Amino acid sequence: MENFFLNIELFRLINGNHSLFWDRFFLLYRYAGTIWMLLPAIFFAAIIRPRRLSVLILAVVIE
């Protein structure tokens, strides 16, 4: 348990004001980041190991 008073207050300030707009914005931001990380893997699988591409795409869909 955190005992430092200012850390607890800062946590409550940030997490206490939920907004549907910001929740959706950061959800899309997270998904966009995931796509940018997967593009090199998909490119590698398509060029070097084309038989493995379907397995990679299936894993991404299941994720």
pLDDT digits (tens, 9 = 90+) for 7-54: 777 777 777 767 778 777 777 878 787 778 778 878 888 888 888 788
Q: Determine the angle formed by the axes of helices 20-47 and 53-62, rounding to 10 degrees.
A: 170
Number of domain units in the chain: 1
In a domain, 4, yes or no: no
**Domain range for 40:** 19-62
Q: What is the pTM of this model?
A: 0.40
pLDDT of 2 above 60: no
SS3 state at 4 = coil
SS3 state at 63 = coil
In a domain, 40, yes or no: yes
In a domain, 48, yes or no: yes
Confidence of residue 3 (pLDDT cuts 50, 70, 90): low
In a domain, 2, yes or no: no
User: Cα–Cα distance between 32 and 35 in angstroms, integer?
Assistant: 5
**What pLDDT is stored for residue 5 in this prediction?**
67
DSSP assigned state of 50: G
